[in-house]
Amino acid sequence: MDAVGNTPMLRLHAVTRDLPDVEVWLKLELANPGGSVKDRPALRMITDALSDGRLTPDKILVDSTSGNTGVAYSLFGAALGLRVRLVMPSNVSKARKDIARSFGTDIVFSDPMEGSDGAIRLVRELVAKEPERYFYPDQYSNPSNWRAHYDGTAAEILDAVGDRLTHFVAGLGTTGTMMGCARRLHEHGRPVECVAIEPSDALHGLEGLKHLASSLVPAIYDPEVPDRILPVMTEDGWDMADRLAREEGLHVGHSSGANVYAALKVAAEVQKSGRGGCVVAIVADRGDRYFAPMKWERRYVW
């Protein structure tokens, strides 16, 4: 738990060759112990609930996620001796099920035809039936989610680059990263433009990100907080993830590819303006997390 946060910052060199007057830095959230940015909010939701009594050792932490938040809940549940139960559609990849189970998490399967909304409905039913048995963090509505980024991620970025910072780029999933970081960065003495990334289409392959116009909008989202929303196509996010691996030696997930794609677009605008600047983008997780479900199993199992 002590290893969460204080993640390194990496300055890009190769892909920014044509942008000599702009610093582009990545905040490497892949360096968290669970391998993603979601360690911060998961840990904060658990510790806040333990300290105010919503979570007690006899309760089961339950939520509907098969992704990075599920890994984080499973990891901290094991570390703290708390029971964790995840609801996921039965057709999620074997790798996703195996990762959760390896931490001792139990899995309840929802109807594969109903997708992630079916998993959300089922977790709500479970909690409604036996509310005293469960702690349901609900990351989409829980203010501890964005507060983890307000107190952690954004403060660390300011410590690292300080007054040089001109732009911040992060994707919108639960929106916790953007809500927390942008609120903190807007309180800083110098103006920082906060750019939110969303997939350009409802059907997309940028896992972790939401196309807000066609999705259930998270309760923690306030549209007034980001200064700008930039849509990114799936192909551009995937291609940038490939480029970062080949040209920078940095193997990141696709949502991070989308963030860097957008960060370079912003950096090109800054370069053109002649004013110089410093852009910081979030790298949410590592690329190898996507081999099993998205490349290997798609071809050989499904």
Ligand X SMILES: Cc1ncc(COP(=O)(O)O)c(C=O)c1O
Question: Contact positions toward ligand X, by CB under 6 A?
Answer: 36-38, 67-69, 171-177, 207-209, 253, 255, 284-285
Which letter, b or e, does each residue of 59-70 get, where b requires 16 or more Cβ atoms within 10 Å of its Cβ? bbbbbbbbbbbb
What whole-number distance in Å separates Cα of residue 162 and Cα of residue 68? 29
Spacing of C-alpha 222 from chain mean position: 17
Q: How far is the CB of 12 from ligand X (least distance, A)?
A: 18
CB of 173 or CB of 277, closer to ligand X: 173
Q: How far is the CB of 81 from ligand X (least distance, A)?
A: 25
Q: How far is the CB of 208 from ligand X (least distance, A)?
A: 2
What whole-number distance in Å separates Cα of residue 41 and Cα of residue 89? 23
CB of 50 or CB of 205, closer to ligand X: 205
What whole-number distance in Å separates Cα of residue 200 and Cα of residue 210? 10
**Token couple for 163:** 């007054």
> Residue with CB nearest ligand X?
208
Q: How far is the CB of 146 from ligand X (least distance, A)?
A: 8
Q: How far is the CB of 131 from ligand X (least distance, A)?
A: 25
Identity of the residue numbered 151: D
CB of 118 or CB of 208, closer to ligand X: 208
Q: How far is the CB of 285 from ligand X (least distance, A)?
A: 5
What whole-number distance in Å separates Cα of residue 151 and Cα of residue 181? 8
Please say whether the beta carbons of 179 and 189 come within 8 A: no
H/E run at residue 72: helix 68-80
What whole-number distance in Å separates Cα of residue 81 and Cα of residue 57? 8
CB of 278 or CB of 284, closer to ligand X: 284
CB of 37 or CB of 87, closer to ligand X: 37
CB of 110 or CB of 259, closer to ligand X: 259
Strand partners, 252: 286
